[in-house]
Structure 1
C-alpha cells in the first residue's frame, strides 16, 4: 500500500494556503513536515486525514488505513489507562491485548489510574499509545511530542521506528528532531499559495 498525494491545493477559512503539493508515502517510511507556524501543516494533515476536503488534487491509497492524532489527547477522564486503550481498540474494531501499548509507552505501572488524574506528559503518552491499538498502517501526527519530556520523546520515536519496521507509514508535523535518520523531510513553505494567518489548530484529537 502506498499513499499518493497529487497536485493538492488546500484552504483554511476559505483561503488557499498551500498549492500544487505532491508527495508519496510508502511502507516503512516516515515523512516529516517542516515549515513555520501558520504555514499550513495542520491543515494539510487534517486534509490527508479526511477531516476536510481539498480544493484541488487527489489523496489516493490509504483511505481506510489512517490514524490521526492532533493536539488534544482525547482521553476519557473517568476511565483507567487500560480502559482508555481498550475503548479505542474497540472503536477501531481491534481486539488485541493492550499490553503491548502499555509496555511501549511505559504505562504499565499506571494501567489502573484514572486518565483524569495523570500529569500532562502521562496523558500525552497515553494519547499516543492509542495509535498502537488502531490497527491502522498510516499514522498522521500533528506535533505529537507536545508535553513530552526528553525521555518520553525517545519512547515515542522508538514506537514510530517499530511501526515503520512493521511496514507502517508516518506523516508527522514536528519542530523537533526525532532521530528518525532515514525519514524524508518536506518543507511546505515553497508551496504557499497566499500568506496565511493563525495556526489552523483543531480540537479533533483522533481518527
Structure 2
C-alpha cells in the first residue's frame, strides 16, 4: 500500500504565505484530520497533495508507490465542488467516472447504493438537492480504487444518515490499508484519527 511523507512544505497564494515548513507522514491505514479556521490552508494543502496546486518549496513523496506511478495513480480527491454533471442522469455521472478510471460498469449501481442513490439513477443530476449532489460526488469513493483519499469538507450538505454512510465507507477504506487526509469539522468517530492543526499559519509538524 501507499503512504505519504511531506517535508517542509510551503504554500504561497498571490503575495500571501498560507503556511510554511509543514511536515507530516501518513502511513497505510492512517486517518489525518486537518483543522483550522478559514484561510489557514486546509484546502490549499489538499490541492497541493492532489497535484492541483503548485508546490513552491518543500517535498511531497509517495511511499511504497511504483517507479512509474504518479499522484494521479494513487490519489482520489474530492474537493468543495461535487464534480456532478447536471445534464447527465445520476447513473450516467458515475458511468462517466467508471469509464474515465477504467472501472467496470457493473460497479456503478453498488456505488450509488453506498449513498442510497440507486432509486434516483434515472433522474437528471441537475434536479437533485444539494445533499443528494454531495452524495453523488462522494459515491466516487465507492467506485474508484485509490489508496489515498483527499477529502475537503466531505460532510457539507449531508444529513445524519449520509454522514454515517460516509463514516462507514471511510472506516472500511482504512481497515483495508487505505489512507485518508480530510478537512472536516465533523467528528466521524474513526478510531485512531490524528489531527493536524493549521491555525498558526506557520511551521508545523506531526
Q: What TM-score comes out, normalization by structure 1 length?
A: 0.88
Give the alignment's Cα RMSD to 1 decimal. Answer: 1.5
Aligned to 2:10: 9
**Structure 1 contact 92–135 (Cα < 8 Å) conserved:** no
State which of 173, 187, 192 in structure 1 corresponds to 2:183: 173
Q: Any idea what SS the aligned residue of 1:50 has?
A: coil
Relative distance call for 1:59 and 1:98 in structure 2 (3 A) is same
SS where residue 163 of structure 1 aligns?
Answer: helix
Are 2:197 and 1:187 equivalent residues in the alignment? yes
> Aligned runs of 1:99-114 on 2, under 5 Å?
99-114=109-124
CA deviation after TM superposition for structure 1 residue 65, in Å: 0.8
Question: Is 2:22 the partner of 1:25?
Answer: no
**Map of 1:80 onto structure 2:** 89
1:91 CA drift (Å): 1.2
Q: Secondary structure at the match of 1:94?
A: coil
Question: Alignment partner for residue 133 of structure 1, among 139, 143, 146?
Answer: 143
Count of residue pairs the alignment pairs up? 193
Gapped runs of 5+ residues in structure 1?
194-207
Q: Distance in 2 between matches of 1:3 and 1:100?
A: 29
Q: 1:202 corresponds to which residue? A: none
Indicate whether 1:148 and 2:149 are aligned: no
- How many Å apart are 1:168 and its aligned residue? 1.2
Alignment correspondent of 2:47: 46
Structure 1 residue 10: Cα displacement: 0.9
Q: Is the 8 A contact 1:65 1:136 kept in 2?
A: yes
Match of 1:200 in 2: none
Shift of 1:192: 2.3
Q: Secondary structure at the match of 1:139?
A: strand
Q: How does 1:62-101 map to 2 (within 5 A)?
A: 63=71, 64-95=73-104, 97-101=107-111
1:60-101 C-alpha deviation (Å, 9 max, x unpaired): 116221111111111111222211111111112222521221
Could you tell me which runs of 5 or more consecutive residues in structure 2 were left unpaired when the two chains were aligned: 66-70
